[in-house]
Amino acid sequence: MDRMLVVVFDNESKAYEGKKALLQLAGEGSIGVYGYAVLAKNADGSASVKQGDDVGPIGSLVGTSLGSLIGVLAGPVGLAVGASAGLLAGGTADINNAGIGYDFIDDVSKVLLPNGVAVIAEIDEEWTTPVDTRMEAIGGTVFRRALSEVKEQIHEENVAAMKADLAQLKAEHAKAHADRKAKLQEQINQLDSKIQAQLQSAKDRLDALQRKAQAKVQVLKDKAAEARAKAS
């Protein structure tokens, strides 16, 4: 399952140890790591990307959720981006792009305080024990959330609500006097157009997710090949 992972530590040294453990788990095949960053929350409330993974030419695909989450966690004071600016390619400080809920952001923000450091990663994880065991041993607080679940739920709820409104308008139209029918029909047409636009948007998003899934598979293959080359 694709998940967004945030592990909060109380200092930079532990965070780098956590990042190393995360990559070791990936090397062992326990998880897959699509991309990561080490984010330090400064004393003034701003944030800095200390280290990050080079997601390569597909950064605009893989980097969107990760980059967006980094931007959101940086907070209103802003983000100082260093050599790892590529992680933000295609991403903005937009919780919708991150594909996770406000409750997740709130939970992390309560723990990621000034002078705290977080390892943020987009991962493929079948079970939670490997990551939790390693990170807790280092002193990290682990947060995770499956990607896209919230966005899809909101989309489905929006479409369902609009369809309910459309059914009500059609029922009124059937009973309305002639002078009212034209106005109701205009509202029906407008709402139907919005529903069709939402459905098309969902189709486009599904196509994009399929392309992203293919790109992620290639990322993991490339990382595995790189690991084997280093080991030989």
Sort 157 into a burial class: Cβ within 10 Å, 0-12 / 13-18 / 19+. exposed
Q: Please report where in the chains the tokens 């919230």 appear, as a residue.
A: 150
Rounded distance, CA 70 to CA 48, Å?
10
What does the pLDDT read at residue 98?
54
At residue 39, what are phi and psi to the nearest 5 degrees? -115, 125
Spell out the residues 6+ positions from residue 70 whose beta carbon is closer than 8 angstroms to its own.
37, 39, 47, 49, 79, 87, 88, 91, 120
Average pLDDT taken over every residue of the chain: 78
Hey, which residues does 80 pair with through a beta bridge?
A: 48
Q: Please report where in the chains the tokens 């459309």 appear, as a residue.
A: 166
Instruction: With cut-offs at 50, 70 and 90, classify the pLDDT of residue 115.
Output: very high
Q: Look at residue 88 and tell me whether its pLDDT is greater than 50.
A: no
- The domain segmentation of the chain, as residue ranges, is 2-147, 151-231
* CA 103 from centre of chain: 13
Instruction: Concatenate the DSSP letters of all residues of 198-220 into one string.
Output: HHHHHHHHHHHHHHHHHHHHHHH
Instruction: With cut-offs at 50, 70 and 90, classify the pLDDT of residue 112.
Output: very high
Do residues 74 and 47 touch, judged by C-beta distance below 8 A? yes
